[in-house]
Structure 1
Amino acid sequence: YTRSNQQQETIYTEEKLTKGIEFLAQQGLYPLAFEVPHDAISQQGYEVISRHVSSLFGQVQLSDHTWKTAGAPPLVTKPDMLHGMTLYPQQSVEPASDEEGSNILTEQKIQSIQHLQSAAIGLSYDVESGITGLQNLMTQMDAIPSSEWLDLKKTKQTVQTPHVQIKTSGDGHIHVEQSNRAETTTVKRSGMENMLRILTVVVMLFIAAFAFYTLYLRLTMKKRIFKERKLGG
C-alpha cells in the first residue's frame, strides 16, 4: 500500500513545503526549521523535507509500518535516517496544568533529562490551554539550573525552495533571497461566490438593457414630436 502511494506522497509533501515556505516569506515571516505534524511521516517524506530544510524539531517516526513508533534522543543529533538534517528533540514532557500532581510529574521528567551533559529539552504547548499554563511552563523552564534558551538565529540553518532561500550563519541575523517572479495563484471559489458572480452579471445586463430601452424611447419620442410639429405646421 505504501509503495503504491509513494509518488503521490512525494508530490504532496513537496507542494505543501514549497507553498508554505514561500507564503511565509511573502509575509515577512522566515522559518528556520520544520516540525512534522504529529511527528508522523515516512522515510521518503524525510528525504523530501531534507531538500528544503536543514533542521527538524520534534520526534522521528522510526518505522514506515506504523506512526506510533516515534522517539528522539535527549540531545541535538544528526541521525542518518534524516538525510543530513539536524534533529532538535521534543521530549515527552507535557505542559504543567493547574493540578499539583501534573506539576510534580513534569518536574520529575525534566530532572531525569537534566543530568545528561548538553541535554536538550523541547516542549510543544497546546494554545487552547490558555496563557496561564504557558506562563507556568516558562517559569518551570527558567528555573532549570545551568540552562539557557536556544536562539535558532545563532545556529547555521538553511530553508529553501526554487524561489526562496533563507539562511543563518550563526551571527543572529537572517539572510533572505527571493526571486522576482510573478505569482500565479488559482483561487477556488465556493458555490455561493459563483452564484453571486452570475447574479451580478445578470443585473448588469438588465441595467444595460434598461438604459438602452430608455434611450430608444427618448429618441423615438423626439422623432414623433418632430413629425407632429411638421404636419401641424
Structure 2
Amino acid sequence: MRILFFGDIVGKPGRLILRKRLASIKEEKKADLVIANGENASGGIGLSGDTMRELFNAGIDILTSGNHIWKHKEMYNLLNTEPRLIRPANYPHGAPGHGLVIHELDSGSKIAVMNLLGRTFMDDIDCPFKKVDELLASIPDDVRIRIIDFHAEATSEKKALSFYVDGKVSGVIGTHTHVQTADAMILEKGTGYLTDAGMCGVEESCLGMEPKVIIERFMTGLPQRFKVAKGTPHINGLYLDIDDESGLCTDIELIRE
C-alpha cells in the first residue's frame, strides 16, 4: 500500500496549496491513501466543520489532529460522528471522539490509523506508551498496515515511541513542531519513522504565523492574537510504501515542495 502523509495544515495557505497540488502528487506516487494532520487548518489554530469537509473534498482520506482540536466546540459532536476524523487517543476517558480508525479502501484493503499526543512540554494526559499497547491489542490481526501520528514536542519522546513499537506498526510519523526533519528512516524491525513531517503553509514565517506578532510575544511576554502568515505556501510530508502482507515499510521518502 502506498500512503501519503502531510504535516500540519496551517490556515488558508496550507489548504490552498494542498487543493492545488494533492491530485498531481497522488498520481505521481500512485498513492492509495492520503492522511493529513488538520488541527491548525482553520485560522491557524483549530479545525472547523466547514474546513474539515473542504479537506475531505480535496482528496484527504483521514484527518488526524492534536492539542488544538478542541478550539471549536462544533467539533465535539463531529469527533463522535465523523469516523475519518480522529483525535489523540490518550486523552482521558470521556473525551469526545476516538483515536483509532480502521479505514477500508475500495479494494478491500484495510489500514489502522492511530493518533497519540506526547506529554513532554505538553498537556499532562494519559501515557502514550500504555495507550498504544491498548490500541494495538484492539486491532484485528488481519489489519497489518498500521500508521501512528504522534503529535509531540520532544524529539526524544517521538524516537522512544518509535523504538517501542518497531515491527508492530508500519510507520510512526511525528507532527506538531511544523518543521520537517531530515531523519526519515526504516527502523531495524521494519517500521518507517520521521520525527516531524513539517507543515503545509507559509514557511517564511514563525511556524505558519506572522513573525511580527510572535516576536512581540517573546519580547513582552504578553498574550498576542496570532495571524496566519501571508506569502507563498509550501507542502511538507512524506510517502511510505508498505508491504501488504507483513505491514512493514519498504520505502520512505520526504515530500517537500
TM-score normalized by the length of structure 1: 0.36
Larger Rg: 1
Which structure features the higher share of strand residues? 2
Structure (1 or 2) with the greater helix fraction: 1
- Greater RCO structure (CA 8 Å; 6+ sep): 2
TM-score, structure 2 normalization: 0.33
